Each structure stands twice: as structure tokens, then as C-alpha cells.
């Protein structure tokens, strides 16, 4: 590190760029996820395959961004007081990306038999879970610029998570109580997918909680 | 030999500064993040040495106290010793013992003993400076924090950019803080070496290095402790603190304070650190340091020089005074030592007594618990033994009853066989009547009932005793009825057990009520149970 680096803004700009790009990747991945689920449920195989490919690219991009952010944070003395918190936030965001990717791949591998009556519910569930994650993105941006605004976005995340959980329970209830034509293994399979999509909303709640703590710590 | 005295004094002063003041400066730099920069870490020792060497290059600031150093080198030893003792004493109640103030106090004390002390007019500006420096530091820290936070309030700057700027500022402030603190405190070393000059500077630097190596590990640990726990706050606070301290050190090393009727003076980092934290706490309306610690730090800054002055004066009297003076000082010192020794011995004795008392109490409580256990065990054993006796008796009774029953049945069998063999009608009837009579008698099971009452008597021994005491006019039958009622038998069962009709049982019950003196509203069974 040269003496000129002390006055350089390059690292700060790179970090803010990478954080914004990572959040954009997550946003994009959510759109692809929603599209992918819809394509699978309505039998659009070509569209689903395209979404899978897009998802893989977005996942790789997000991981690269996370690594770059981590390497900037590890550089000496940078963001020393909030480094640990940001790392934890990155871990949680990484978890969200991996859930999105894995869910879509599991649809492709396991090809669950979703009855026609449940298609709309599954689409709605994926939308609610995605909305929960989407609500985290402005919260994350607010943490870096206006930490006092973080609290506003966390309320939305909790709301969408609650709705997603309710819908997921309703799907499970319908599957086990009303669909006698399905085999038990098929019922379990559907429950498993509902649970996995619900997990996305739970991961968003964890991000929201982390953001709340971080915002409080920044105010100290 | 004289050189040795100087070296000892220098090492004491360097060690004290490295032990208490350096971790505060180092901890602030580490907390800001600047300490992680290679440039700062590598340059830090060089900057400290440069700061110590500056007086050799630049003209040193004039200080009547520091220039009043005794000419004889052996007179320096009391200064070092007095500083050390004062700092160690003050350290017992405050982590910030203000070593530079103690050193200055020791110099004045020695001067008073030798008659070379500066006058009160010359000392007063120093006392004002010692008050003004922390106040200025607090104001500077608060002002810097306020200005920057107001500037940033309405800007949506990214945290990465803000933190980058603060880190840049901290990286520039760190050398300034190190250099100004070293320059400010270098006068302590140089005065021990009687003025500036390259040789003196080199010796001072070497002593500082020795002091640093002596307490290096401890200093490093203390610095990280300050950075991680005490300064676990935002970067702006730390930067404001560092900058305020650096400016104070620089200002009070320059001739500027003299223009305001103050004096340039060496300052303790701990006092400035507490003052800066207090200033920022007031601006942020959030306590960054413990109030008690700040108060004790202020008390330490006052007590340190006074204590060092007294000790140095006493030592100076011993070294330079006449026989009488030495005797007085030695006498006072001996008296104080004896008092301290006696107090300690008394304390130890009290502690020992307390310990013995505690142990005795423990032993007593253990013995009490043991005897309670023994009593309990004894009672349990007795209870078990009586139960065992009762069971044995029951077994024996049962066996006796069985054999009795068998014998009776055999008799009945024999007699029945005899009756069947009889041919005379009236004789047969008589024999049959006799047999029926004995069977009826058997049916009333008088013996078993007597057994039952006997057992009941044993089991409710206390109750029967109390009953006899309170109601001696009760008949045997009434006592039996009371026992049966106490055990919860209904009138029907009581009638059957006492071989009377249920109506008679009711009559007996009402008679008993009358004998016990009960009113209509009183419950007979509850009354009996309460006896």
C-alpha cells in the first residue's frame, strides 16, 4: 500500500459499487426465481431451463461480489468497527442466494407433482417469499446511507414472512386434508417444497433482524 | 555512580509513561483502524523517537519547574522514587495516575527541601495549565465531534466513503498524536539530563526504549483492551478524541499558553483521554466512560503531584538537610511506617479473626445439621421398629386366629356328626340349639373386636390419653365409639362392629354429643379429630 492510498477513495467506491451490485444480483435472482417457479408449474420447459441458466450466472456473479467485498473489508483498518457485522450480513445474503438457487434446481431434479388446484397457491407463495427478500434490499441500502431508516423496511419483511407462513400452512392443510387422490409420498413432496419456499422468507427475516441490530450499533 | 542515578530515574519515568500513558495513545490509534496500517505501525517507534529528539533540534520550551532541577545527580534519585511511589499509590484507586504531574510535583518537593524551589508565582501558571489542558481537550473533542456530525447530518453519503474519510483522517492524526505526545513528555527526560543536546537526547531515547521493552507485553495488552472494550464506539468519536489529545499535547508544548498566563507543561495522556471522552459524552448525550472513573481520574491528577511533592520533600530533607531535619523526617517516616505496619497487622488480625469466626460458624452449622440428621434417623428407626412390632403382632394374631378357627370348625364338625348320630328327638334338638348358640356367639366375634380395639388403642395412644384427660366421665363403650368415629366409620358400620342396631348407634352418638358438651351447630367428627 502506497502513501497515496491513504487519500484514495478507490476502495470506498469499489466497496459501495460491489454492495450495490450484490443487491442488484439478489433482486435479479428473485425475478428469475419467481419466473422459474411459474414456468415449472405451468409446464413451460424452455422458459424454465432459461431461468435455470440465468440463475446460475446470477449466483456466480453474486458470489464474486461477496468475495470482493470481503477482500476489501479484510484490507487493513478499513471499516474496523463494523467489519464483523457487514461480514455477517453478507453471510445471510449469501444464504438467501443459495436458497433461491437450490430451490429452483430442486424443482428441476425432483419434478414434484403439483396438482392444478395448487398451482396458483405455489405461485403466490413464491411471490410472497420473494417480496420478503425484496423488502430487505432497501433496508440494506439504508444501513449504508441512512441507518435510521432501516427500521421502516424491517416491518415490511416481517409482514411478508407472516403472510408466506400462513399461505404455506394453508397449502399443507389442503394437501393433507383435502387431496385424498394424492399418495402420501406426493403429499410429503409438496409439503417439502412449500417448506423450502417458506425458508426464503425466514432467511429474509434473519437479514432484517441483523440489519436492525447493525443499525442500533451504528447509532452507539 | 552519578550516571547510574540518572539512568535509574530515567528508566522509572520512561517505564511509568510506557506503562500507563502509552497504552491510551496506542489504544486510540488501534481503535481508529489506523493502527492496522503498516505505515503507521512501522513508523510509530520512529515517530516517538523523533518526538523525543525534537527538543534537541528545536529550542525547548522554558519551564521554571523543569529548569529547577538540582545540579547534583544523586539528588535526582529522590525525584524518580517519589514519582514512582506516588504513581503506584494513586494507581490503587485510579487507572490514570498522571505520572507527569507527579514528576513535576516531586521536582518542586525536592526544590523545597533544598531551597531551590521556584516561587508560588511561577508555579501557579502550571497549576492553571493542569486545569486548563483537560478542559480544553474536552471542549476540542466535543467541538470536533459536533462540527463533523452537523456537516454529515443531511448528507446521504455511503458508509464506505464516510468511514474511508475518517480512516484517512485517523491515519494522518495518529503520527501527529504520537509525535506531539512524545515531544510533550520529552521534557521530563531532558530535564533529568540537564538540558538538550544530542547525547542527552540519545540517552533519553534509549531509556524510553528500555522502558518500552520492559512493559511491552503489558502495554500491548492494555492498548488492545482499550481499543476493544473502552473505545467500542463509532469512528468519529475516536477521531475526535485523537485529534483533541494531539492538539492539546502540541499546544501545551508550545509558547502559546504563556500568552494567556498559562505555562507549557508535560501532560498525562490518561487525564486528557478522560476529558475528551467526557466532552464527547456531553455532546452525544450518551456516557462513553464511567462517571466514577472520570471522577477518580480527576482526583488522581490532583493527588499525584501533591503526594510526590511530599515524598520528594522528605527524601530531600534526608539527603540535603541537617541532622535535625533528617531526624525529623526519618522520625515522621518511621512513625508513618509503624502506623501503616500496625494498621496492616490489625487488618490481618481482623481478617484472621473473621476467618476463624466464619469457620466456627460453619462447623457449628454442620454439627447442627448432623445432630438434626441423627435425631431424624433415630425417630425413623423407632417408628420403623414400632411398625415392625405391630406387624409381628398382627402375624402372630393371624396365626392364632387361623388355628383357633380351625379348632372351632373341627369341634363344630365333631358335634354335628354326634347330633346326626342321635336318635332321640328332644336330645337332638337340645344339641342342635347348643350348637347354634355357640355359632351365634362366634358370629359376634367378640374376641376379634377386642383385638381391634386393643390395636386401635395402641395406634391412637396419644389420642386416647388426651380423651381420658379431657373427658374422664366417658364410659368404655363411648370411648370405643369415639375411636370409631375418629377413624371415619359410618353409623351403619359402627352398628355392625359394636353388635348394635343402627338406631342404637345414632342414639349413642347423640348421647356422646351431649357428654362432650357440643352444640347443635358443632360437628362431632371435626370436634373429635381436633382433640
Flag if A6 and B156 touch (Cβ within 8 Å). Answer: no
Position A35 in a domain: yes
CA A79 to chain centre: 25
pLDDT in tens, chain B (531 residues): 666 777 777 778 777 887 888 899 999 999 988 888 888 888 888 888 888 777 766 655 565 566 655 555 566 778 888 888 899 889 888 888 899 999 888 888 888 887 777 777 888 888 899 999 999 999 999 999 999 888 877 777 888 888 888 888 999 999 999 999 988 888 777 777 665 456 666 776 677 677 777 777 888 898 999 988 888 888 889 999 999 999 999 998 888 888 888 888 889 999 999 999 999 999 988 888 888 999 999 999 999 999 999 888 888 877 776 666 667 767 777 777 788 888 889 999 999 999 999 999 999 999 999 999 999 999 999 989 888 887 877 777 777 777 778 888 888 888 888 888 888 788 888 888 888 888 877 766 666 666 677 777 776 767 778 888 888 888 888 888 888 888 777 788 788 777 788 888 888 888 888 888 888 888 888 888 887
Q: Which domain, by its residues, includes A209?
A: 9-219
ipTM for the complex? 0.76
C-alpha–C-alpha distance, residues A140 and A24, integer Å: 12
Please report, for chain B, the start and end positions of each structural domain, with discontinuous segments joined by +: 2-321, 347-442, 444-531
Residues of chain B with C-beta less than 8 angstroms from the C-beta of A15: 160
CA distance to partner chain A, nearest, from residue B289 (Å): 13
Position A24 in a domain: yes
A83 falls in which pLDDT band (50, 70, 90)?
Answer: confident
Q: What percent of chain A lies above the pLDDT cut of 70?
A: 95
Flag if A9 and B34 touch (Cβ within 8 Å). Answer: no
Size of interface A-B (CB pairs under 8 A): 75
What is the gyration radius of the CA atoms in chain B, in angstroms? 50
Task: Pull the grid cell for residue B23.
Answer: 497504552
Q: What percent of chain A lies above the pLDDT cut of 90?
A: 53
**Count of domains in chain A?**
1
Q: Which residues of B touch A (CB under 8 A)?
A: 31-39, 156-161, 163-165, 167-168, 171-172, 232-235, 286
Flag if A76 and B171 touch (Cβ within 8 Å). Answer: no
Specify the pTM: 0.66
pLDDT digits (tens, 9 = 90+) for A42-60: 888 889 999 999 999 999 9
Flag if A6 and B168 touch (Cβ within 8 Å). Answer: yes
CA distance to partner chain A, nearest, from residue B168 (Å): 5
Position A113 in a domain: yes
Q: Which of B43, B153, B154, B159 to mutate to test the interface with A (most CBs of A within 10 A)?
A: B159
Position A34 in a domain: yes
Tell me the three-class secondary structure of B445-508, residue by residue: CHHHHHHHHHHHHHHCHHHHHHHHHHCCCCCHHHHHHHHHHHCCCCHHHHHHHCCCCHHHHHHH
CA distance to partner chain A, nearest, from residue B241 (Å): 16
* CATH number of the CATH domain containing A25: 1.20.58.220
**pLDDT value of position A99:** 92
C-alpha–C-alpha distance, residues B496 and A209, integer Å: 78
Where are the extended beta strands (E) located within A54-93?
none
DSSP 3-state percent helix, strand, coil across chain A (nearest 5): 85, 0, 15
Query: Burial of A3 by CB count in 10 Å (0-12 exposed, 13-18 middle, 19+ buried)?
Result: exposed
Flag if A12 and B232 touch (Cβ within 8 Å). Answer: no
Flag if B34 and A77 touch (Cβ within 8 Å). Answer: yes
Residues of chain A with C-beta less than 8 angstroms from the C-beta of B171: 6, 77
CA distance to partner chain B, nearest, from residue A206 (Å): 22
Q: What is the mean pLDDT of residues A108-134?
A: 91
Instruction: From the options 3.30.300.30, 3.10.105.10, 1.10.10.10, 1.10.1740.10, give the CATH code of B444-531.
Output: 1.10.10.10
Residues 6+ apart with CB under 8 A from B243: B140, B141, B144, B169, B173, B177
Flag if B157 and A1 touch (Cβ within 8 Å). Answer: no
Amino acid at each position: 500500500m502506497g502513501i497515496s492510498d491513504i487519500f484514495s477513495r478507490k476502495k470506498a467506491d469499489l466497496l459501495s459499487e460491489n454492495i450495490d451490485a450484490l443487491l442488484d444480483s439478489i433482486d435479479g435472482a428473485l425475478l428469475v426465481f419467481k419466473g422459474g417457479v411459474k414456468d415449472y408449474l405451468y409446464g413451460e420447459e424452455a422458459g424454465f431451463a432459461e431461468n435455470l441458466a440465468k440463475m446460475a450466472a446470477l449466483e456466480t456473479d453474486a458470489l464474486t461480489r461477496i468475495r470482493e467485498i470481503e477482500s476489501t473489508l479484510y484490507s487493513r483498518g478499513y471499516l474496523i468497527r463494523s467489519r464483523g457485522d457487514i461480514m455477517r450480513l453478507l453471510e445471510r445474503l449469501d444464504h438467501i442466494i443459495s436458497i433461491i438457487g437450490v430451490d429452483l434446481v430442486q424443482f428441476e431434479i425432483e419434478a414434484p407433482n403439483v396438482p392444478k388446484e395448487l398451482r396458483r397457491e405455489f405461485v403466490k407463495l413464491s411471490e410472497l417469499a420473494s417480496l420478503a427478500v425484496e423488502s430487505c434490499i432497501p433496508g440494506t441500502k439504508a444501513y449504508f446511507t441512512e441507518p435510521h431508516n432501516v427500521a421502516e423496511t424491517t416491518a415490511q419483511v416481517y409482514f411478508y414472512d407472516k403472510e408466506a407462513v400462513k399461505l404455506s400452512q394453508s397449502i399443507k392443510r389442503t394437501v393433507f386434508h383435502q387431496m385424498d387422490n394424492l399418495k402420501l409420498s406426493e403429499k410429503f413432496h409438496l409439503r417439502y417444497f412449500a417448506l423450502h419456499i417458506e425458508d426464503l422468507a425466514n432467511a429474509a427475516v434473519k437479514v432484517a433482524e441483523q440489519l436492525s441490530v447493525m443499525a442500533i450499533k451504528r447509532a452507539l | 555512580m552519578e550516571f547510574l542515578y540518572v539512568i535509574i530515574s530515567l528508566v522509572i519515568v520512561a517505564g511509568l509513561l510506557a506503562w500507563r500513558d502509552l497504552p491510551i495513545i496506542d489504544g486510540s490509534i488501534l481503535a481508529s483502524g489506523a493502527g492496522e496500517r503498516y505505515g503507521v505501525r512501522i513508523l510509530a517507534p520512529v515517530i516517538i523517537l523523533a518526538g523525543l529528539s525534537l527538543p534537541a533540534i528545536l529550542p525547548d520550551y522554558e519551564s521554571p519547574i523543569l529548569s529547577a532541577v538540582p545540579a547534583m545527580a544523586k539528588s535526582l534519585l529522590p525525584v524518580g522514587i517519589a514519582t514512582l511511589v506516588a504513581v503506584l499509590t494513586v494507581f490503587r484507586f485510579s487507572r490514570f495516575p498522571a505520572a507527569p504531574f507527579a514528576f513535576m510535583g516531586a521536582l518542586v518537593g525536592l526544590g523545597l527541601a533544598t531551597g531551590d524551589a521556584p516561587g508560588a508565582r511561577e508555579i501557579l501558571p502550571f497549576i492553571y495549565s493542569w486545569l486548563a489542558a483537560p478542559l480544553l481537550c474536552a471542549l476540542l473533542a466535543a467541538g470536533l465531534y459536533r462540527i463533523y456530525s452537523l456537516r454529515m447530518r443531511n448528507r446521504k453519503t455511503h458508509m464506505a466513503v464516510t468511514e474511508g474519510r475518517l480512516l484517512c483522517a485517523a491515519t494522518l492524526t495518529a503520527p501527529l498524536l504520537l509525535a506531539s505526545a512524545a515531544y510533550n513528555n520529552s521534557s521530563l527526560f531532558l530535564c533529568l539530563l540537564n538540558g538538550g543536546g544530542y547525547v542527552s537526547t540519545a540517552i533519553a531515547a534509549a531509556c524510553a526504549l528500555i522502558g518500552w521493552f520492559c512493559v511491552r507485553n503489558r502495554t500491548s495488552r492494555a492498548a488492545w483492551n482499550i481499543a476493544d472494550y473502552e473505545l467500542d464506539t463509532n469512528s468519529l468519536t475516536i477521531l475526535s478524541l485523537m485529534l483533541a489529545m494531539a492538539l492539546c499535547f502540541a499546544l501545551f508544548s508550545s509558547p502559546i499558553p504563556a500568552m494567556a498566563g498559562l505555562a507549557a507543561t508535560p501532560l498525562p495522556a490518561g487525564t486528557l483521554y478522560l476529558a475528551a471522552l467526557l466532552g464527547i459524552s456531553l455532546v452525544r448525550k450518551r456516557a462513553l466512560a464511567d462517571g466514577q472513573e472520570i471522577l477518580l481520574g480527576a482526583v488522581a491528577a490532583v493527588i499525584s503531584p501533591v503526594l510526590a511533592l511530599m515524598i520528594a520533600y522528605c527524601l530531600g530533607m534526608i539527603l540535603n538537610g541537617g541532622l535535625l531535619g533528617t531526624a525529623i523526617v526519618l522520625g515522621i517516616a518511621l512513625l508513618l511506617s509503624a502506623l501503616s505496619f500496625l494498621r496492616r497487622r490489625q487488618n490481618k488480625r481482623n481478617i484472621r479473626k473473621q476467618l476463624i469466626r466464619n469457620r466456627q460458624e460453619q462447623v457449628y452449622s454442620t454439627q447442627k445439621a448432623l445432630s438434626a440428621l441423627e435425631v431424624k434417623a433415630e425417630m425413623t428407626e423407632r417408628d420403623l421398629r414400632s411398625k415392625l412390632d405391630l406387624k409381628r403382632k398382627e402375624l402372630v394374631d393371624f396365626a392364632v386366629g387361623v388355628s383357633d378357627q380351625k379348632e372351632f370348625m373341627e369341634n363344630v364338625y365333631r358335634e354335628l356328626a354326634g347330633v346326626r348320630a342321635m336318635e332321640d328327638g328332644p336330645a337332638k334338638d337340645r344339641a342342635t340349639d347348643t350348637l347354634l348358640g355357640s355359632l351365634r356367639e362366634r358370629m359376634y366375634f367378640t374376641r376379634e373386636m377386642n383385638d381391634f380395639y386393643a390395636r386401635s388403642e395402641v395406634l391412637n395412644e396419644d389420642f386416647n390419653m388426651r380423651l381420658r384427660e379431657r373427658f374422664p366421665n366417658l364410659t368404655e363403650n363411648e370411648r370405643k365409639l369415639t375411636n370409631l368415629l375418629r377413624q371415619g366409620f359410618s353409623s351403619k358400620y359402627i352398628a355392625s362392629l359394636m353388635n348394635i342396631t343402627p338406631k342404637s348407634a345414632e342414639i349413642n352418638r347423640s348421647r356422646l354429643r351431649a357428654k362432650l358438651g357440643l352444640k347443635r351447630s358443632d360437628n362431632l367428627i371435626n370436634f373429635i379429630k381436633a382433640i
